[in-house]
């Protein structure tokens, strides 16, 4: 049996036994087979001290406890026991000054049931794993260039798939525009998964809340959508990977007709490319970006909070790999004022090098480490073929 699973099962049974001992003294109001749920409004938070809300639903008495997996205590609950429904419970936590992320288990138990939720706090650095590497030294193939001192923040979110922790997406955050100028991610059929869209809008725990457009409390107003850069449909499982696509770091104020028609069509086309190439391609590396150098104004989301810049254009850069054909690139640029009723055409496609010139970003900076500078330049300069990238 998996060691972590063994620990988890043992922990739950231990708390069940403890709860049974406590509650057996008074079973008045107790109910066998009762419904029990435990939810946190955030399961992952940043490195600063803070608190999250905890909601308990039960038909009778319950107890709450925290398991730090043998480590020093760094969080506490305002309530450790109660009965029935309770929504004013707070879990407060200390600042994480270490170089590693940490987690604890929040456990609820009754006389005949127990449940647990994993709560994670990030470490020093932008990413949830506490890393401080820059994009050019990280080695992830999908990453564009990052520059020290440009005022932008590179961060990333992780997910667990089939027991393996891997990256979900990276973002390059602009504090002045209150959005990410690009979001980069790997894509294939396994990473996309299957399931339902969560629509679980939340604050991104990696960025100070006051910097983020208030997308968790509403949209950008009439005529605009909360437009994904990493599409929700590209991360349907595991569930929390889909939840992360609803963070403000993945959103821009996007014209509704543009988002729902031509852009949605392009997103579907990219997924079809990933699925079509899946037999010969391990992964399609994708960068979705927006141009805010000459923005179209700004919009406020929900109630209060900063105004996010309205991009003047959107683009996608794609790099696929097959054992038989090596690396092949493609890019698409769409002005935000493009007729939303038309479809993406061959005229919208260009080479990676052409997009680099147009967008002002150096893309796939780790490609040269694999194939060399000369070959990387050749791959980037090659015009995309509609036979390889069918529309």
Residues carrying an active site annotation: 228
Q: Which helix H or strand E contains 270, and what residues bound it?
A: helix 264-276
* Helix locations, the chain, DSSP H: 3-23, 135-138, 189-192, 239-244, 256-258, 264-276, 352-359, 367-371, 373-381
Residue closest to 154 by CA, chosen among 202, 102, 206? 206
Integer-rounded Cα radius of gyration of the chain: 23
Q: How many CB atoms lie within 10 A of CB 172?
A: 25
Neighbouring residues of 31: CB distance < 8 A, sequence distance ≥ 6: 59, 60
Q: Report yes or no: 214 and 300 within 8 Å, Cβ to Cβ.
A: yes
Q: What is the DSSP letter of 277?
A: G
- Token pair recorded at residue 93: 């936590």
Surface-to-core class of residue 108, CB atoms within 10 Å of its CB (0-12 exposed, 13-18 middle, 19+ buried): buried
Neighbouring residues of 338: CB distance < 8 A, sequence distance ≥ 6: 258, 262
Residue closest to 211 by CA, chosen among 302, 125, 307, 292? 307
Residue with tokens 């490319």: 273
3-state SS, residue 216: helix
């Amino acid at each position: 049996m998996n060691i972590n699973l063994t620990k988890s099962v043992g922990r739950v049974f231990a708390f069940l036994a403890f709860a049974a001992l406590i509650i057996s003294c008074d079973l008045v109001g107790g109910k066998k087979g009762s419904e029990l749920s435990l939810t946190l409004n955030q399961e992952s938070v940043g490195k600063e001290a803070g608190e999250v809300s905890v909601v308990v639903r039960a038909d009778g008495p319950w107890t709450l406890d925290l398991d730090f997996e043998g480590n020093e205590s760094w969080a506490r609950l305002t309530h450790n026991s109660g009965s029935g429904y309770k929504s004013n419970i707070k879990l407060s936590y200390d600042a994480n000054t270490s170089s590693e992320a940490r987690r604890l288990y929040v456990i609820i138990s009754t006389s005949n049931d127990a449940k647990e939720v994993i709560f994670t706090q990030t470490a020093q650095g932008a990413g949830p794993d506490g890393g401080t590497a820059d994009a050019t030294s990280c080695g992830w193939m999908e990453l564009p260039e990052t520059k020290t001192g440009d005022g932008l923040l590179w961060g990333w979110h992780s997910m667990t798939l089939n027991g393996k922790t891997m990256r979900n997406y990276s973002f390059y955050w602009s504090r002045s525009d209150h959005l990410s100028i690009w979001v980069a991610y790997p894509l294939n059929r396994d990473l996309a998964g299957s399931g339902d869209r969560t629509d679980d809008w939340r604050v991104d725990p990696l960025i100070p809340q006051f910097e983020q457009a208030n997308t968790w409390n509403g949209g950008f107003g009439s005529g605009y959508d909360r437009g994904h850069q990493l599409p929700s449909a590209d991360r349907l499982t595991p569930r929390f990977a889909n939840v992360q696509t609803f963070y403000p770091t993945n959103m821009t104020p996007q014209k509704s007709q543009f988002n729902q028609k031509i852009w949605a069509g392009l997103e579907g086309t990219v997924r079809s490319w990933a699925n079509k190439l899946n037999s010969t391609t391990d992964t399609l590396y994708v960068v979705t970006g927006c141009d805010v150098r000459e923005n179209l104004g700004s919009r406020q989301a929900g109630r209060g909070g900063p105004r996010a810049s309205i991009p003047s254009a959107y683009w996608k850069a794609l790099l696929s790999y097959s054992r038989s054909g090596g690396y092949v690139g493609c890019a698409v640029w769409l002005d935000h004022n493009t007729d939303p009723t038309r479809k993406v055409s061959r005229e919208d496609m260009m080479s990676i090098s052409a997009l680099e010139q147009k967008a002002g970003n150096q893309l796939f900076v780790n490609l040269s480490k694999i194939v060399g500078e000369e070959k990387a330049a050749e791959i980037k300069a090659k015009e995309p073929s509609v036979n390889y990238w069918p529309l």
